């Protein structure tokens, strides 16, 4: 197997190749003056097994087109097996048709990836397993929740509690796992989203957090409102320090300011979305999954 890093995840591609001890394939990419994407493999790939690494953070449609071009070309040129590692699988929050007439966009992405010839898919902390269950090719979810919790735990925490800012199935699974990794307790809050306005409301509940350090673990920070709401509730209830370990830091607009002003000491994410807060790499996760 050989690794190719797409334009959104060049550095991660290098880390994945290193973690797996595999060769990194060279490719050439550019944008034409009108914005169209150009892609070329610089080495022969006929008969090769390829692992394509490309995360779909914003601008997600551009990154998706890049991934489609890389996958289509690999199939067209005769690669023997194409495995995709897409740490952030964009559109996974559109996991159901919540309102009549809506596009089930997560399934459109599935059609496109399968249509251009992907043979298998790995992602990290997918928002909903329903998205992966619709795939006809093998599609696997990995989690960074344990490593995110360990990042904070290694610095010494007071009687830590791991908290999910909502009680969706995947959110609970993540905190249960993170709590197991650092041998802590876990709990969750309840959150509701208005399907028309997107507004969210988080409900306070009895939580034993007075004087304790809390790590909020979640899959995505986009506007920051989910994390900020949870942090505000925790601080009001007397939590000592509140941290946030969130896999995909999309951080739109003033998300970070909002979260910090709600009392979060530190936000840490993964290199699924590269940035200054990406302190945990997802490379060991795919290395472990492919080479246990």
Is 158 known to be catalytic?
A: no
Of 173-212, which residues contact ligand R5P (CB under 6 A)?
200
Region for 31 from its dihedrals, namely left if φ exceeds 0, alpha if ψ lies in -120 to 50, beta otherwise: beta
245 binds ligand R5P (CB under 6 A): no
166 binds ligand R5P (CB under 6 A): yes
Decide whether 13 or 245 has the Cβ nearer to ligand R5P: 245
What's the min distance (Å) between Cβ of 102 and ligand R5P?
A: 17
What's the min distance (Å) between Cβ of 219 and ligand R5P?
A: 5
Decide whether 79 or 231 has the Cβ nearer to ligand R5P: 231
Answer for which of 54, 141, 223, 247 binds ligand R5P (CB under 6 A) is: 223
Answer for which of 218, 231, 280, 283 binds ligand R5P (CB under 6 A) is: 218
Residue in this structure with the two tokens 């995840």, named with its chain if needed: 9
Answer for which of 226, 247, 272, 281 binds ligand R5P (CB under 6 A) is: 226
125 binds ligand R5P (CB under 6 A): no
What's the min distance (Å) between Cβ of 206 and ligand R5P?
A: 22
| Sequential DSSP letters for the chain | -EEEE-TT-HHHHHHHHHHHT-PBPPEEEEE-TTS-EEEEESS--TT-EEEEE----SSHHHHHHHHHHHHHHHHHTT-SEEEEEESS-TTTT--S--STT---HHHHHHHHHHHTT--EEEEES-S-HHHHHT-SS-EEEE--HHHHHHHHHTT--SS-EEEESS--HHHHHHHHHHHHHHT-EEEE-EEEE-TTT--EEEE------TT--EEEEEEEESSSHHHHHHHHHHHHTT-S-EEEEEEEE---TTHHHHHHHTTEEEEEEETTS-STTEEE-SHHHHHHHH--
Pattern 57-96, ligand R5P, x by CB under 6 A:
------------------------------------x---
123 binds ligand R5P (CB under 6 A): no
What's the min distance (Å) between Cβ of 171 and ligand R5P?
A: 6
Of 2, 30, 191, 235, the active-site residue reads 191
What's the min distance (Å) between Cβ of 48 and ligand R5P?
A: 37
* Helix 10-20 and helix 283-290, axial crossing angle in degrees, nearest 10: 40
> What is the CA 113 to chain-centroid distance, rounded?
18
Answer for which of 6, 7, 160, 224 binds ligand R5P (CB under 6 A) is: 224
Of 93-112, which residues contact ligand R5P (CB under 6 A)?
93
What's the min distance (Å) between Cβ of 244 and ligand R5P?
A: 10
Decide whether 217 or 287 has the Cβ nearer to ligand R5P: 217
- Are 161 and 185 in contact by the 8 Å Cβ rule? The answer is yes
Interface residue list for ligand R5P (CB under 6 A): 93, 127, 165-166, 168, 171, 200, 218-226
**Which residues have a catalytic role annotated?**
191
């Amino acid at each position: 197997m050989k690794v190719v890093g797409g334009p959104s995840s060049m550095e991660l591609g290098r880390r994945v190749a290193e973690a797996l001890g595999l060769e990194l394939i060279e490719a050439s990419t550019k944008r034409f003056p009108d914005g169209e994407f150009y892609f070329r493999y610089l080495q022969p790939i006929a008969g090769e097994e390829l692992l394509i690494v490309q995360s779909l953070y914003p601008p997600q449609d551009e990154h998706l087109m890049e991934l489609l071009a890389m996958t289509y070309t690999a199939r067209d040129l005769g690669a023997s097996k194409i495995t995709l590692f897409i740490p952030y699988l964009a559109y996974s929050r559109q996991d159901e048709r919540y309102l009549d007439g809506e596009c089930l966009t997560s399934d459109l992405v599935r059609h496109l990836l399968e249509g251009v010839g992907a043979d298998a898919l790995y992602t990290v902390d997918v928002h909903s397993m329903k998205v992966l269950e619709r795939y006809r090719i093998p599609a696997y979810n990995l989690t960074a929740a344990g490593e995110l919790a360990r990042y904070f735990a290694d610095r010494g925490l007071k009687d830590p509690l791991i908290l999910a800012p909502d009680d969706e199935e995947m959110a609970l699974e993540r905190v249960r796992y993170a709590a197991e990794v650092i041998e802590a307790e876990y709990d969750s809050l309840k959150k509701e989203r208005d399907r028309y306005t997107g507004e969210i409301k988080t409900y306070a509940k009895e939580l034993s957090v007075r004087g304790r350090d809390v790590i909020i673990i979640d899959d995505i920070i986009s506007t920051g409102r989910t994390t900020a709401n949870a942090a505000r509730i925790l601080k009001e209830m007397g939590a000592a320090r509140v941290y946030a370990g969130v896999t995909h830091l999309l951080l739109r607009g003033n998300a970070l300011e909002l979260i910090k002003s709600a009392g979060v000491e530190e936000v840490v994410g993964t290199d699924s979305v590269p940035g200054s807060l990406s302190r945990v790499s997802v490379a060991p996760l795919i290395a472990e999954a492919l080479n246990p």
